[in-house]
Structure 1
Amino acid sequence: MIGVIGATGHLGNVLTKELIKRGFKVRAIIPQGENVAHIKDDQVEVYRADITDLSVITAAIAGLEYVFHCAGIINISSGNKDLMYRVNVEGTKNVIKACISNNIKRLIYTSSVHAIAAPDKGIIDESREINPDKVYGFYAKTKALATLAMLESARSDLDAVILCPSGIIGPFDYKTSEIGQLILDFVNRRLKAYIDGAYNFVDVRDVAAGHINAMEKARRGEIYILGGETISVFDILTLLESITGIKKPKIKIPYCIAYAISPFTPIYYSIVKTKPLFTTYSIKVLRSNANISSKKAITELNYSFRPVRETIRDAYCWFKEQGKI
């Protein structure tokens, strides 16, 4: 049996379904209160556990062969750093200890490309440094710290592999990611202006497939970037316009103005009660180096990714099928 920690998240639910499709039985390890309707299956055993409690997560992992750890707090705003640290760093260290105690064959950890200290120019690949003091934002810092812990464990007691996806997007977005929120805001005509910039986005289905390939093919203690294609916000909106017939916003907010007012955007999003899109962190990311290479994963894991425009179209169609549009 294979364990998926964070099985109700965007990546987790797609990974769980793909594992079932390939004939594996899955133990879905999730916190109390999570809705499991979208992962219900005869081949799925649900286990409620908090990764910040070592004894609980150790019991949850007992009897498993392989473990995927894709749980974490992803936050592009500045909120709740204590919780983010407890889950992303201390929780990951607990998962490592639990896997060692249970003699797990391999732990596959979902880090992030943001954990890698990226240069302002040049290619971002696995040769770049993992240094929490050289990444931007608290989320990236927690992922870098957790990645360092994973690398250390792989050098001693645990067969561990680290995967670093870029921006995960696509269908089966039950909790509504940032790009999912952008699609909904666009279609529901709530998006009155935009901030241009670009980033590397990857389909959640391709990331899930990359994880399974890593379980079977990856080298112990190695980092693999799972990237996709770089696309601008303008091109995303243009694509949505062509799909829906809804005109994209004409107002483009200059970067300097957007960055200056970004500390106040949480107030706006709390009033309109939607997931934050353009925060200080996300604006910075949209103007950062997105020259991400997945060459290592392509070569060693047989990793591949589909065109980002196909992913955005599929995400839109999925939201429509779910009645959110």
Structure 2
Amino acid sequence: MKVAVTGAAGFVGKNLINQLVEAGHEVVAIDRLRSDRCRQDGVTWIDGDVLDAKSMIDALDGAEQVFHLVAMITLAQKDDRAWTVNTVGVRTVAQAALAVGARRMVHCSSVHSFDQAICNGRLDETSARSTAPTIPVYDRSKWFGEVELRKVIDAGLDAVICNPTGVYGPVDYGLSRINGMLRDSARGRVPAVIEGSFDLVDVRDVAAGLVAAGEKGRTGENYLLTGEMVTMFDAFRMAANFAGRRGPRFAVPMRFIKPLLPIAEPIGTRFGTDVVSKAAMGALLAAPKVDGAKARAELGYGPRTAAQTIRDLVGFYVASGQLGARSALPA
């Protein structure tokens, strides 16, 4: 089957392409960037602009399935470019998929399209959405991207929506934010972490969930792709221990961080990091239990444990030389 993937050079895109090729599909990889890691038989790379209707119609021509992965991830409160890409971009791709007669579109949204702060500790597909203007632009734009998609579904497009939680794991040459921090810990460079927890999901499981949604998902439905709820302290300690290092000694309580945010956030921005920001801290403070039962029941989705993912991630770092000195994983 001919399958098109937008944002194919990204973190999720590379892992999804690998699985699609292994399944025997002909893949059209759409991205202005190129991934040397995905230059294999069965993959054709083409340029495509998700904000240009003709560009997307040309790129999707002949595709039976379309996976839309393009998104701008930011922890900023306001970012006009991110808003446009994450909303108008979804609509443009969906309209192009409908125009070329694609059998199905799978849109990769995010758990952040749900308002985690008001879900009372538990989040599922019926929970409140990120509509408040005080919510960071990424969260709001991911929800309104779904709104734009549903307009095209109403016009006749067969599409489903997947909402992964915090995506991490191998393979990642980027690195993503969480993978980069876990690599620092595996190098022994993280003496302490901020207290808090989050549901983290292996990128390989996200890719498998997207494929399953394309095959089994119900039109117009959302599917939360969950992993395991893990504390940042435990995750960073595992990364360090799997690399033969000690890891962080303690977790700084959130009550000590919150009063410093007005000072720490602009300092971090000046030095090019958003790790200590209202958006990042908000996600750790909310820390809802995310219910993945719907994806398990309807898609046959089954994620790995955090220990499996982090062990594999450190193994990937070792094999790819990203830890400096090659560490040996414990037996």
Q: Partner of 1:277: helix, strand, or coil?
A: coil
Deviations 1:147-190 (A, max 9, x none): 11122322332111000010111101121112111122223343
TM-score, normalised to structure 1, is 0.92
- Rate the CA distance shift 1:269–1:323 in 2: closer, same or farther, 3 A: farther
- Cα distance in 2 between the residues matched to 1:227 and 1:136: 22
Are residues 1:202 and 2:230 paired?
no
Code of the aligned partner of 2:12? L
**Which shifted more, 197-206 or 237-246?**
237-246
Residue 61 of structure 1: aligned partner = 60
Q: Which moved more, 1:198-207 or 1:251-260?
A: 251-260
Q: CA deviation at 1:269?
A: 6.5
Q: Contact between 2:261 and 2:277, CA under 8 Å: does it hold in 1?
A: yes
Q: In the alignment, what sits opposite 1:10?
A: 11
AA at the equivalent of 1:86: T
- 2:22 is aligned with 1:21: yes
Cα distance in 2 for residues equivalent to 1:18 and 1:266? 41
For residue 285 of structure 1, what is the aligned residue in structure 2? 283
Change (3 A) 1:313 1:262: farther
Unaligned runs of 5+ in 1: none
- Give SS of 1:287's match: helix
Write out the 4+ residue segments of structure 1 that deviate beyond 4 Å after TM superposition.
Answer: none
The CA distance in 2 between the partners of 1:38 and 1:79, in whole Å, is 33
In 2, Cα distance between the equivalents of 1:188 and 1:243? 10
Query: 1: CA distance between counterparts of 2:102 and 2:134?
Result: 31
How far apart, in 2, do the equivalents of 1:256 and 1:116 lie?
24
The structure-2 alpha-carbon separation of the partners of 1:269 and 1:315, relative to structure 1 and needing over 3 Å to count, comes to farther
Structure 2 counterparts to residues 141-180 of structure 1, below 5 A: 141-180=140-179
Q: Share of identical aligned residues, percent?
A: 30
Q: In structure 2, what residue type is equivalent to 1:296? A: K
Residues 177 and 53 (structure 1), Cα distance of their counterparts in 2 relative to 1, 3 Å cut = same
CA 243–107 in structure 1, closer or farther in 2 if over 3 Å, else same: same
Contact 1:165 1:202 (8 Å CA) reproduced: yes
Indicate yes or no: 2:301 matched with 1:303. yes
What SS does the aligned partner of 1:132 have? coil
Question: Which segments of 5 or more consecutive residues in structure 2 lack a partner in the other structure?
Answer: 324-331
How far is 1:102 from its partner? 1.1
Report the counterpart of residue 238 of structure 1 in structure 2. Answer: 237
Query: Secondary structure, in 3 states, of the residue corresponding to 1:64?
Result: coil
TM-score normalized with structure 2 length: 0.90
Pair 297,56 (structure 1): closer, same or farther in 2 beyond 3 Å: same
SS for the counterpart of 2:289 is coil
Aligned equivalents of 2:266, 2:95: Cα separation in 1: 37
Aligned residues: 320
Q: Does the 8 Å contact 1:3/1:67 carry over to 2?
A: yes
- Structure 1 270/200 Cα, relative in aligned 2: closer, same or farther at 3 Å? same
Kept in 2: contact 1:114–1:135 (CA 8 A): no
CA distance in 2, matches of 1:134, 1:235: 33
Task: Please report how far the alpha carbon of residue 83 of structure 1 lies from its aligned counterpart in structure 2 after TM superposition.
Answer: 1.6
Matched, 1:317 2:318: no
1:212 corresponds in structure 2 to: 211
How far does the alpha carbon of each residue in 1:227-285 deviate from its partner, in whole angstroms, 9 at most, with x for none? 011000111122123212322233533313323333534644754x6x54332211110
**For the residues of structure 2 that align with 1:93 and 1:241, how far apart are their CA atoms?**
42
Amino acid at match of 2:8: A
- Say whether the 8 Å CA contact 1:178–1:276 is kept in structure 2: no
Give the conservation status (yes or no) of the 8 Å contact 1:30–1:48. yes
Deviation at 1:134, TM superposition (A): 7.8
